[in-house]
Amino acid sequence: MRIGVIGLGRMGAALAFRLQSCGHELVIWNRTPEKAESLVEAGAALGESPAAVVEQAEAIITCLLDENALDEVFNGDRGILSADLTAKLFIEMSTVQPRTQRALDERVKAKGADYVECPVSGSTGPAREGRLIGLVGGTPEDVARARPIIEQLCRRFEHAGPVGAGASLKLAVNLPLVVYYQALGEAYSLCRHLGIEPERIVDLFSDTSGGANILKARGAMIAKGMRGDGPQPVTFDIDSFRKDLRTMLAEGAELGLSLPVAERTLSVYDEASQQGWGSRDGTSLAGYWPTRASDRAAEE
């Protein structure tokens, strides 16, 4: 199948490489063209605009940073909605509020296309291997059409309900993770003075009620972050988690909900970013709080 991929950040590029490895022909576009170079070298065609990608593809995947980026790509000059969308399939994979997904669904459907949302749980490594978890929203008919593509990207396919349901689940899934990274930092600050190697701490946590799946998947990186080693390879950075936390809080406000833990966690992520940690991988946050706490203690 000829598939368009619009948005080639870390996750978008990983998804595109996975689709290439599955034998699909790709036509791609990104706001910063240099991010497309490696995919073009691997055989992808480069579209001149989002509209040009739509015109050349049967199915189009979008994976963008936030609501503003989606608005630019869909509604901007030579954006997606300026093209003929008749009979096209859209799979939208950005992490945004449900209302954003519902609005895009309405506009795309009005132009004769099918629309499915599929934000995912997982990072770039699983994306390249087709081991993500897809949190899918859409009509049964549209989801059935998108399923063969999504199943090549995801090891688990969770159809949550109509468009918007997938976005709700994605925000819910991400909230405990971002809180957990901060909780690990606070926990380590309580035992750091014992001089136990971070690898031993992570291994112990993973074998107790203080464990979480992320310790098994990324324990080595978390331990390096606790130790204060140099910045690790980035799969999802602290600033991106800040964006997700703001989105969670905005959705909570729309639902009339208070999310005090998420709100306090965002304040720590904001502080870490202001201290120059924003571009570091999220796993490094487990090392931020102990360092901050020891620095404050020294000042006092």
User: Residues 6 or more apart from 292 whose CB is under 8 A from it?
Assistant: 271, 275
> Active-site residue among 170, 216, 224, 243?
170
* Residue 88 appears among annotated catalytic residues: no
**Distance from C-alpha of 50 to C-alpha of 83, rounded to nearest angstrom:** 9
Rounded distance between C-alpha atoms, residue 15 and residue 72, angstroms: 21
Angle between the N-to-C axes of helices 213-227 and 285-299, in degrees from 0 to 180, rounded to the nearest 10 = 40
User: Could you give the residue numbers annotated as active site?
Assistant: 170
